[in-house]
Structure 1
């Protein structure tokens, strides 16, 4: 499986929605970097990268159904959308199951079971802190509460040196 195939399919899924496409590409790249820096095995790395690409796939349907892109709605609606996309690309079943789990939990910041989960959340935070123009205090709070990997912490401190 080639991750480029999934990136292209997700770009087509979000057709015309430049901010969301830019968002998942950035999250994907940070997740990829952190995973490689942390030395993940190849299967976990592939699962992480796949999850990073589709992590926000539930946004459009959440906005349609609930009028909101809230994290709780993304977690509710995203897994089924991710499964459809991944099944259509003939992604490995075990990877698809884990990706759907991660999509369904990527706004839940406790009981993170696995490096793929932890890194996905850290990568999403690295991007969201900037995109959402989070205050310095908010950034510091996120750093201390969310970041656990040495690589994620290092990237955070490089981007936000006042941690």
Structure 2
């Protein structure tokens, strides 16, 4: 089975898992789209790209478990606890290799932790989730600017944050873009 087919099957299962929550499904599809494109534009190798895309598809998969276990609560910290086991089970069932499963579980278990980000897959997942969350939460421009300055590290992610939200590119800490 090709890696693209594996990712498509994972997306199919993630949609079924989150059904009928169209908002949650739209969120994961958008995060995956951004992650895929940023990864390609940043030149990730094939394995890292594959891992990134798998993680983007399942990054919030722990929310349902959190809501069931913690009286409707699903904070980022709780998602980081409950998401990896669900992601691991799903990826295993679909035949993903152990190395990919381990890294995806790590990314799911850390995607709300913004310190000590190690690896472009981790950085791009965080940036992609932020691009979607900032839009979905109607975040004020000043907060978006601050987030763009502190969280975004990839050239593509920074550019897109500035372009999507109409930020003043010259107030960004790095002038080497756009």
* TM-score interval, normalised by the smaller of the two chains: over 0.9
Q: Which runs of 5+ in 1 are unaligned?
A: none
- Give the structure-2-normalised TM-score: 0.90
Task: Choose from 27, 30, 36 the match for 2:34.
Answer: 30
Query: Which residue in the other structure is 1:149 paired with?
Result: 154
- Deviation track 1:52-104 (CA, whole Å, cap 9, x = no partner) reads 00000000110111121100000000000000110110111100100000000
The aligned length equals 163
Q: Which runs of 5+ in 2 are unaligned?
A: 169-178
Do residues 85 (structure 1) and 90 (structure 2) align?
yes
How far apart, CA to CA, are the structure 2 residues paired with 1:138 and 1:73? 24
The CA RMSD measured in Å over matched residues stands at 0.7
Alpha-carbon offset, residue 122 of structure 1 = 0.1
Query: Which residue in the other structure is 1:57 paired with?
Result: 61
Question: Runs of 4 or more off by more than 6 Å in structure 1?
Answer: none
Please list, as runs of the form range in 1=range in 2, the aligned pairs for 1:1-163 lying within 5 A after superposition.
1=3, 2=5, 3-66=7-70, 67-163=72-168
Alpha-carbon offset, residue 129 of structure 1 = 0.1
- The structure whose Rg is larger is 2
- Give the structure-1-normalised TM-score: 0.98
